[in-house]
Structure 1
Amino acid sequence: MSERLSWFKSSHSDDEGGACLEVALEFHEFAPAALHVRDSKLPASPEVTVSAPAWLAFIAAVQPGA
């Protein structure tokens, strides 16, 4: 799957070797379908894939006041 995804790092990431993640968004018919996460230092590392509804539920649950 990685070959077709466009990965990006957080604006908080730097090149000093810190523990950072890369994220790629997967779309199906113009709607978000999944979020992929991997270690930015090891692009060939395994990915964690989370469905869009599961990611939105996680974000809602960790928002202040949730």
Structure 2
Amino acid sequence: MHRNEPHTTAWIKSSYSGDNGGNCIEIAPGIPDVVPVRDSKTPDTPALLFQRSTWQTFVTAIRQDTFHA
């Protein structure tokens, strides 16, 4: 993955996110092997890159309500 690639790709925000700012992240799907993640409030900052399998494990845990506050 090239350093500039996440800036040239389409970013998507969760359908649970509102238009009021809030605490939102965006992902850039379609990049092989990794899932770039960035803060929607500061889109010009560097994205975090997660291995696709790691991201899927995280999303599954969220959906199964594995995390508790």
Same topology, TM > 0.5: yes
Q: Which has more radius of gyration?
A: 1
Show structure 1 runs of 4+ deviating over 6 A: none
Q: Is the 8 A contact 1:7 1:24 kept in 2?
A: yes
Q: What is the identity percentage for the equivalent residue pairs of Structure 1 and Structure 2?
A: 33
CA–CA distance in structure 2, aligned partners of residues 59 and 15 of structure 1:
22
Q: Are residues 1:49 and 2:49 paired?
A: yes
Q: SS at 2:29's partner residue?
A: strand
Tell me the SS of whatever aligns to 2:44.
coil
Give the TM-score normalised by the residue count of structure 2: 0.65
TM-score normalised according to structure 1 size:
0.67
C-alpha contact (below 8 Å) 1:25/1:36 kept by paired residues: yes
| Structure 1 position 2 matched with structure 2 position 6 | yes
**Paired positions, count:** 60
Is it true that 1:15 corresponds to 2:29 in the alignment? no
SS at the partner of 1:37? Answer: strand
More strand by share: 1
Structure 2 residue runs without a partner (length 5+): none
